[in-house]
Amino acid sequence: NAGVTQTPKFQVLKTGQSMTLQCAQDMNHEYMSWYRQDPGMGLRLIHYSVGAGITDQGEVPNGYNVSRSTTEDFPLRLLSAAPSQTSVYFCASSYSPPYAGGYGYTFGSGTRLTVV
């Protein structure tokens, strides 16, 4: 019972490089999301998906792309890394979206990204 698996756990990028953060869940959750967590700013939503083939932007989507080709996987792509993207990234999944009520999130263990 793996839950939500994120890789890598740590990454250092140079400005301008691209990379993909992987997220996979084995709970058959329809709703998946990506958050970034920065000191003093809490968790901010980057992108989310309510099911395979459906994605939408969150609060801070610029510089990031997502896709959802399967229920299980929800990768986050950094197109051209910038120092402002230095953060801790969490993938989270839930049985249903927030507006559908009372299911909380299961979070992955996070990716600590540093852009130099």
Partner 1 sequence: RKEVEQDPGPFNVPEGATVAFNCTYSNSASQSFFWYRQDCRKEPKLLMSVYSSGNEDGRFTAQLNRASQYISLLIRDSKLSDSATYLCVVNDAGKSTFGDGTTLTVKP
Q: Residue 103 contacts by C-beta under 8 Å, 6 or more apart in sequence? A: 94, 95, 96
Stretch that binds partner 1, among 10-18, 20-28, 70-78, 96-104 (CB under 8 A): 96-104
Q: Is 33 exposed, middle or buried (0-12, 13-18, 19+ CB in 10 A)?
A: buried
Assess 10 for contact with partner 1 (CB under 8 A): no
Identity of the residue, 14 or 101, whose beta carbon is nearer to partner 1 in the bound complex: 101
Smallest distance, Å, CB 102 to partner 1?
A: 5
Query: What is the spatial distance between Cα 57 and Cα 33, in angstroms, rounded to a whole number?
Result: 10
- Chain residues in the site for partner 1 (CB under 8 A): 35, 40-43, 45, 58-59, 90, 98-99, 101-102, 104-110
